[in-house]
Amino acid sequence: MTHHATRTLQELGYRLTPQRTLVWDVLRRSDLHMSAEEVSARVQEQFPHINISTIYRTLELLVGLGLVRETHLGPTRRFFEVEEEVPHHHLVCEACGKVAHVHDEDLGTLEGVLLAEHGFLLRELTVFGRCRACGDGTDDATPGATEGGEGCTSPTVS
Ligand SMILES: [Zn+2]
Ligand SMILES: [Zn+2]
């Protein structure tokens, strides 16, 4: 199935240069959230001499056309992914950096509460925390376990 992007690009008069096709293909094949650097590295595996700024410009073009979504996950992390039909939100693990998706139905009443009580129209959420694999941090910080003096000692460097 040809993605609508191919048509959109052509309809808008953008030539489907190999670089543009390649950037698009890299994003489409990945179901991950990729940084501009990761996209570049992947493209360069096939086009070793491609100019990085060409890749960055292509990413911006695709974002501008609404084909690729750019998400800021924290101040220094910027990710690109193919825009989906269904809006989604991001869960970002602060321990391992993993990014997961949640959809509107997972938000429960949050959307309605924000609108009713704050007049705020929710578009996109980014939630920071810890993924299941990383745990909630309670394993080594059990309340009341401080008597033994363990866990609260500052690391001493010898
Ligand atoms: Zn994690
Ligand atoms: Zn996403």
Residue pair 102/54 in contact by the 8 Å Cβ criterion:
no
pTM over 0.85: no
Residues around ligand 1, an ion, CB closer than 5 A? 93, 95-96, 98, 131, 134
Identify the nearest ligand to the CA of 91 by its number: 2
- Helix (H) / strand (E) element for 70: namely strand 68-72
Measured from the Cβ of residue 114, the count of other Cβ atoms closer than 10 Å reads 15
Burial class (CB in 10 A: 0-12, 13-18, 19+), 92: buried
Question: Which pLDDT tens digits describe the chain residue by residue (158 residues)?
Answer: 456 666 777 777 777 787 888 898 899 888 778 999 999 999 999 888 888 899 999 999 999 988 899 988 777 788 899 887 777 899 999 899 888 999 988 888 999 999 999 999 998 899 999 999 998 766 554 444 444 444 444 454 54
